[in-house]
Chains A and B, each alone.
Chain A
Amino acid sequence: MLNTLKYTVLSLLRERDIVIWVMLFPLILSTLFNSMFVGLEETGWNIDPMPVAVVSNAEGDAGLAFETMMDALSQEGDDALFAPKHVSSAQEAKTLLESQQTIATIFVDAQGWPSAEFSPGADDVGVSIERIKRTIVADVVDDFCRSRAAIEDIARTNPEALARPEVTDSLMKMADYTQQMNVTHSKAVDYVRYFYALLGFAAFMASMVGLSAVGKALPNISALGARRTVGGTSRARTLVGAVLASWLISFASLLVAFAYIRWVLGIEFGGREVECIIGLAVAALMATSFGALVGALPRIPFSAKGGILTGITCLLALFAGLYGTPSLQLADKVANSIPWLAAMNPVKQVTDLFYSLYVYTDLAPYLEGLAILLVTTGVFAGVAALLMRRQRYASL
């Protein structure tokens, strides 16, 4: 069996497609993710001053309060929220809005009350920074109206209160009444999830290794398999050796990917690297047994099996959140509404294994995930073994 193991490892390492899929793929994609998301998190939200058109119909000094606020919010510097353009007519403002030179028009009426006009566009899908910007404009205008309503109410009820500095200070200066606390093991950031989903995808893709090794050991799939079957080594020893070798290669490839993501790209795994490596070992075992299962499926040409594996992996990865923001939202939605479906998705399970290490303070959810993966492995291996037993080849 040791010989089988040794030569299966050697032959797998010489297969270019395996190397591309299992080793190169996570390295390429994680480098891309890193350049796309990580810099963004570090620089934080950096919204340029938002272009808005202001049409003022205020009479006398009625619009002064709003104007003062707008001036304060658009002072040149890093904190400027708005870049207002004062225009004289509604038509002019509409033209600016339509040509997307502004994101909103703010009208100030004769009494100095502001109102806003927006025009949602075609690029408003999923998380849209345009919609966030519009929300900010609406919030600022709302805030002004609410504060003014309160001031007017106080002026009517108890006018002398407005002479007291603590009241005017409270009305003019917004204090911070919120305090952020962290309930998770590590700082909650979205971008790490793409790397975890990528590891889930890469782990499942490692089933290609199992598929290839089993293909070389089964007599009805390759000439090599046929020769090995009539050889002196028992069937069980051949297969166990092949599966063990696939597991070793898959695990080693995943370790390379993990090491690259963790130490070269510097992505956090909640400081629980040992648990991650155990998780990778189990994930590689699960993938290998799935590869063996697909390899053992009867009546499907071997060349098509690679396609089937890719198709299944892509679909499972969609529900694990690999394909960008909408895919992540879809994965969350499914996991929230149909948890058993998420539990049956091995790519999601591997992804969640890493994320649970990152999020939860205790290890119970991680161990739960590990147990689910081991059960999945058992099911795959059991079905594969059943399929490989007593198959008849080229019989009369």
Chain B
Amino acid sequence: MQVFKTAIKSFFRHPIYLLVYVVWLSCMGLFMGMSVNELPADEYYERPSVAVINRDEGELAQALESFLLEDVDVVELADSERALQDAVMQQRAHYIAIIPEGFTDSFLSTVRAGDESALPSIQTVETSSAAAIVMMDNLANEYLNVARSYALAIPDAGVSEIVERTGKAMGHEADVRVVNIDNGSSFSGGMMLYLKFASYTLLLSIAVCSALILAQFGRDEVRKRNLSSPLSVLSTNLQLGAACLVMMLICWAFVAALGFAVYGGRMEGMSPGAVTGLLGALLCYALFGLAFGFLVGQMTHNELIMNAAANITGLVLSFLGGAWVPLDLVGEPIVTLAKFTPTYYYIEALNSSFEATGAALPAGALANMGVVLLFAMALFAIGLAIGRLRLARMGAWNGSSTRALSRPAA
């Protein structure tokens, strides 16, 4: 077990990698998870943040302002161009409405005069939240439409009466119920984000750490020395593999333990099947990370290149697989492309796992984990092929097939 011990020692001799990739990146996942407002289970709607700049003292404008600020996150904004630009720049408000001065009076007079073209408008600021703008515009239009109908239907009604009646009618919201499907596990949005981010953490940390171990042993001089030792190649490689596996399990256990320690409290009542599913999906993705690390370790021994390769691949896979951007927001071709990444199946496995009821894993979760494992096996096979080619190039292998490969072209 000399090789195994040395490999593990060399892994722990690089504490900076452990610290930066395993601990540091996991903490980044935690930050990300904490940024999510945990929604109550019965909250079904999108709650935009709204700012209303009301320049009119009139009753209708005041009532409209209160109506728009119901059930949303209210944002206070100063009435200046810079403040508005700041709000757009920092995404402080999804929807900003400006009620112009004299709105109440001119609204009622133009409505009653029947002059549709002169109806005053509420100004809304263009932000990047297109969905919030459509939703809130609709609400404002609805309110003013009802107010206008009252103004037309009851010609002698004053502003107060119109506002009161409009307010009452707008209070007639439909009854909305949320049924919590009883077969789903309790759910934490933060945990989900953490686990999605773990696709990056695990790939990067495991790939870099395993590539590091393999690269240490793969340097030509070390390899030649090891090959001339009495230990068989098979035994050396098995021990190296075992060391990488142990390292992978350490990373996996750390990432999983941290996630459950922080978010476990919010997931009380989670079924054993769901917990197994989440851990299993994480483990499968860790194995993929190991296979990727093996591949990188066979291709290069330069630590900076390993870092770069793992980081770029991690970022691309996590983006493309839908870990950071919901795939329902991107186009169809990207979704098709996503299906060629293991991250996509890892996230699908997580989603299916949350649906587990009893102790059993849903079939969907198992199937998706299987696909992730297939990706891992494919990369491992490529890594093996590259390793064998390199060995052949060193002239250290005596098999007939590699002799043919290593023979210089005559």
Contact residues of A with B, CB < 8 Å? 16-18, 20-21, 24-25, 28-29, 32-33, 35-37, 39-40, 43-45, 94, 97-98, 113-132, 134-136, 138-139, 141-150, 153-154, 157-158, 161-162, 164, 166-167, 170-171, 174-184, 187-190, 208, 300, 303-304, 306-308, 310-311, 314-315, 318-319, 323-330, 332-333, 335-336, 355-356, 359-361
Contact = CB atoms under 8 A, between A and B. Distances in A.
B315 interface: yes
A37 B330 contact: yes
Given A170-B145, A310-B311, A161 B325 contact: no
A20 B308 contact: yes
Given A119-B181, A138-B174, A177 B144 contact: yes
Interface string B2-43: 000000000000101101110011001001100110010111
Contacts of A123: 326, 351
B92 A336 contact: yes
12 contacts: A16-B302, A24-B312, A29-B316, A35-B334, A97-B179, A118-B177, A126-B36, A136-B135, A174-B141, A308-B20, A323-B197, A336-B92
A318 B25 CA distance: 10
Contacts of B185: 122
B88 interface: yes
B89 A360 contact: yes
Interface string B73-92: 00000000110110011111
A173 B180 CA distance: 36
A139 B85 contact: no
B46 interface: yes
Contacts of B126: 180-184, 187-188
A161 B153 contact: yes
Interface stretch (B116-124, B226-234, B382-390, B394-402): B116-124
Interface in B149-176: 149-150, 152-154, 165-166, 168-170, 172-176
Given A117-B179, A311-B20, A336-B92, A139 B145 contact: no
Given A115-B177, A326-B36, 11 more contacts: A35-B334, A36-B319, A130-B328, A131-B46, A145-B173, A161-B154, A176-B137, A178-B137, A181-B123, A326-B35, A332-B90
B305 A32 contact: no
A310 B305 contact: no
A304 B326 contact: no
Interface stretch (B187-195, B241-249, B287-295): B187-195
B51 to A, nearest CB: 12
Given A150-B149, A323-B32, A121 B334 contact: no
Given A28-B316, A146-B146, A336-B92, A116 B180 contact: no
B145 A175 contact: yes
The 10 closest A-B pairs by CB, nearest first: A324-B324, A311-B20, A17-B304, A330-B35, A149-B172, A161-B153, A115-B175, A150-B169, A179-B121, A122-B354
Interface residues on B, range: 35 or more
B124 A146 contact: no
A177 B152 contact: no
Given A148-B172, A182-B126, A187-B126, A175 B116 contact: yes
Nearest to B337: A35
A304 B26 CA distance: 19
Contacts of B124: 178-181
A296 B192 CA distance: 40
A139 B175 contact: no
Contacts of A190: 128-129
Contacts of B261: none
B358 interface: no
B170 A125 contact: no
Contacts of B351: 122-123
Contacts of A359: 85, 88-89
A148 B166 CA distance: 12
B320 interface: yes
Contacts of A150: 146, 149-150, 165-166, 169
Nearest to B187: A122
Given A158-B153, A166-B114, A149 B168 contact: yes
A330 B32 contact: yes
A125 B172 contact: no
A154 B154 contact: yes
Contacts of B328: 129-130
